[in-house]
Amino acid sequence: LAKEQFPGIAGRPRPPAQAYLRLQTLPGEQGQVDWASFGKLAVGQALRNLSAFVMVLSYSRMLFVRFFVGQTQSLFLQGHQHAFDFFGGVPRILLYDNLKSAVLERDGAHIRFHPQLLELCGHYHFEPRPCAPARGNEKGKVERAIQYLRHGFFAARRFSSLDDLNAQLQGWLEHTAHQRLAPGDPEKQTVATLWEQEKPRLLPLPQHPFATDLSCPVVSGKTPYVRFDLNDYSIPHALVRVP
């Protein structure tokens, strides 16, 4: 209306449109990693956050997913270890969003990675690489994989426990997700077919896996129970108040 009444007045200037290049990667070159939240899950008397660790190989779109209760640093490292074992090798670069599990601090181009992630990198010989701020297109493959997981697997899914959920997930990955046509492949090959081509290009696994177990000291009181992760666990009565 204002433009019709005052034709000489220009509208609010629009910001210049941004152009994005299509990012192509070589076999074994890159993977993308992220956490995804899936609501709550009852574990004993506690209500825990249900999260999925997601890693996708950028070339073949081979997908690894594992559900956990929480997003702790220990679980983050376990997710990597399980993914590498599943893929049978390690991509040379892993791309991360600005997760606290990966990036503790950044000042422009200066990045301070989490020290435990750097230990993992040294053990498996891959390079961690964070996305640039506000550049979600850089890790679009893992974001699309998470949306596919939400709508293709998790929606209306019934499960009795975390183990049951992960067991159903493995069947879906093998028979559905990895049998689909690889997005963007001009030859219309499946994800599993491209992964067979990519697998020999991955870095070999080390002789020994990286230590990811969580060690947490606890002390019992007068009763033969210890409290861990919001739940009580029974112990032999002879261990009551034993350091």
Q: DSSP E strands: which ranges in 71-206? A: 93-96, 103-107, 110-113, 127-130
Determine the pLDDT at residue 113. 92
Residue range 138-172, pLDDT digits in tens: 678 999 999 999 999 999 999 999 999 999 999 99
Determine the pLDDT at residue 131. 83
Query: What average pLDDT is seen over the chain?
Result: 86
Question: Taking phi first (over 0 means left), then psi (-120 to 50 degrees means alpha), and beta for anything else, what does residue 70 get?
Answer: left
Determine the pLDDT at residue 191. 97
Q: DSSP E strands: which ranges in the chain? A: 30-43, 46-57, 63-69, 93-96, 103-107, 110-113, 127-130, 225-228, 231-234
Determine the pLDDT at residue 236. 81
Determine the pLDDT at residue 20. 45
H-only helix segments in 25-156: 73-87, 115-124, 140-149
Q: Tokens 């999925």, residue?
A: 52
Work out whether strand 46-57 and strand 30-43 pair parallel, antiparallel, or are unpaired: antiparallel
Q: Which residues pair with 54 in a beta bridge?
A: 34, 65
Determine the pLDDT at residue 214. 58
CA–CA distance, 39 with 42 (Å, rounded to integer): 10
**What is the pLDDT confidence band of residue 231, given thresholds at 50, 70 and 90?**
low
Q: Which residues pair with 48 in a beta bridge?
A: 41
CA–CA distance, 58 with 41 (Å, rounded to integer): 31
Residue range 11-29, pLDDT digits in tens: 566 665 544 445 578 999 9
CA–CA distance, 15 with 122 (Å, rounded to integer): 43
How distant, in Å, are the alpha carbons of 27, 49, 180, 194 from that of 117?
A: 23, 22, 32, 28
Closest CA to 205 of 120, 148, 144, 129: 120
Question: CB under 8 Å to 202, separation ≥6 — which residues?
Answer: 28, 87, 88, 89, 90, 91
Q: What is the mean pLDDT of residues 221-237?
A: 71
Determine the pLDDT at residue 211. 82
Residue range 62-109, pLDDT digits in tens: 999 999 999 999 999 999 999 999 999 999 999 998 888 898 888 777
CA–CA distance, 72 with 98 (Å, rounded to integer): 15
For residue 136, pLDDT beyond 70: no
CA–CA distance, 119 with 100 (Å, rounded to integer): 16
Determine the pLDDT at residue 138. 65
